[in-house]
């Protein structure tokens, strides 16, 4: 599940639409945290990090946003602009969010509570970790100088 676009089932009629997000049905993890991002300026880039353990499902419930994603095999873009589509992101996926529409509301479901220790905020560090590069002890000492 590292990165996967998912189609969410819509229910409705002439009176409106509904999409249910349910743990172990269309959300493949325990939902421990839900947050949403809104009122983001168009020229702002958000995210710019990866998670060592966290899994997330992102849904643009209104408007649109572009994700730049990288699982270590190279970056690519995904646009979310349909509330019936979600974006599953597993552990060790770099993400940057940008090109928010003025009306964008991005909802994110996560399988862990907020933990700053789970974040990798430097892209080069992320690439080293995701590719499993381990430095010999003497090189680590040299880098901290």
Closest CA to 104 of 68, 84, 80: 80
How far apart are the C-alpha atoms of 126 and 50, rounded to whole Å?
7
**Catalytic residue (one of 11, 14, 45, 49):** 49
Tell me, what's the pLDDT at 134? 56
pLDDT digits (tens, 9 = 90+) for 7-50: 999 999 999 999 999 999 999 999 999 999 999 998 999 999 99
pLDDT digits (tens, 9 = 90+) for 73-118: 999 999 999 999 999 999 999 999 999 999 999 999 999 999 999 9
For this structure, is 55 an active site residue? no
Residues 6+ apart with CB under 8 A from 130: 50, 71, 72, 92, 94
Residues 65, 77: contact at Cβ < 8 Å? no
């Amino acid at each position: 599940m590292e990165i996967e676009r998912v189609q969410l089932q819509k229910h409705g009629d002439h009176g409106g639409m509904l999409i249910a997000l349910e743990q172990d049905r269309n959300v493949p993890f325990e939902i421990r945290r839900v947050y949403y991002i809104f009122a983001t300026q168009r020229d702002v880039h958000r995210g710019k990090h990866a998670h060592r353990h966290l899994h997330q499902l992102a849904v643009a419930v209104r408007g649109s946003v572009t994700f730049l994603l990288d699982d270590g095999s190279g970056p690519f873009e995904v646009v979310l602009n349909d509330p019936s589509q979600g974006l599953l992101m597993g552990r060790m996926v770099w993400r940057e969010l940008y090109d928010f529409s003025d009306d964008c509301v991005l909802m994110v479901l996560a399988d862990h509570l907020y933990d700053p220790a789970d974040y990798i905020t430097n892209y080069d560090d992320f690439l080293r970790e995701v590719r499993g590069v381990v430095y010999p002890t003497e090189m680590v000492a040299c880098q901290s100088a």
